[in-house]
Amino acid sequence: MKKPHAEILMKQTKEKYLHHESAVMHVTGKAVYVNDMEVSGQTLYGKVVYSPYAHAKIIGCDVSKARQLKGVHSILTYKNIPGENQMGPVFHDEPCLAEKEVNAIGQAIALIAADNEAIALEAEKLIEIKYKPLKPILDIKSAMVAGNRIAPTRLIRRGNLEKAFLKSKHVITGELYTGAQEHWYLEPQSALCVPGEDKEMMVYA
């Protein structure tokens, strides 16, 4: 008696299929992420101060009162970054911390390091940031009209385009709109820094 086609297909699939090296840990919930790690008493609680505006100029940012709050160890702004204030890997269009302008709701402006979450939240309330709201660009067509591009225009050309059009039987022109967008990272973006001996620091990222 011959085996059903579906059963043969399943057997072949199982023989060829290879599990991702982390698949079992991920689907069973046993994988340990940074947020799953137990934090020792040596670490501080970090909080990011975000922009409430989609587009605005930063008129002033005063963190002096917040720095004086008991339990606050440090508050950093772009002025405290010793190197280049930039984390755009391809195009340098994403500052680590906003300087004179914000271009998105949720853009990072300052970092708070405190003994615990409650103190960090209280410190955030003491930070005085003055904004001048500006008109945001909220769709692609508006960005095109304003000439606001994510990167310089690039042209890929092969052969004689104009000559090819003249010889073509059909030429179609128009606009195409799709729901596609730049992908958003799925993995958790976090890090845990644990002080070691002397000036050592173990970083889990």
How far apart CA 66 and CA 178 sit, in angstroms, is 46
Instruction: Find the angle CA(151)-CA(154)-CA(159) to the nearest 5 degrees.
Output: 175
Residue 112 forms beta bridges with which residues? 47, 75
- Torsion sign, CA atoms 101, 103, 93, 151: negative
Strands of 30-179 (E only): list them. 45-50, 56-62, 72-76, 101-102, 108-114, 128-133
In angstroms, how far is CA 164 from the centroid of its own chain? 43
Interval 39-62: pLDDT, tens: 777 788 999 999 999 999 999 999
pLDDT reported for residue 18: 79
Domains of the chain: 44-138 (3.90.1170.50)
Q: What is the pLDDT along the chain (205 residues), one digit of tens a residue?
A: 555 555 655 565 555 677 888 889 989 999 888 888 887 777 889 999 999 999 999 999 999 999 999 999 999 999 999 999 998 887 788 899 999 999 999 999 999 999 999 999 999 999 999 999 999 998 888 998 999 887 788 888 889 988 999 999 999 999 888 887 777 766 657 888 888 899 999 998 8
Length of the chain: 205
How far apart CA 162 and CA 6 sit, in angstroms, is 54
How far apart CA 117 and CA 44 sit, in angstroms, is 9
Interval 171-189: pLDDT, tens: 999 988 888 777 776 665 7
HSE of 186 in the Cβ direction (CA atoms, 13 Å)?
Answer: 0
65-68 CB contacts, 8 Å cutoff, 24+ apart: 65/126, 65/127, 65/128, 66/112, 66/123, 66/124, 66/126, 66/127, 67/123
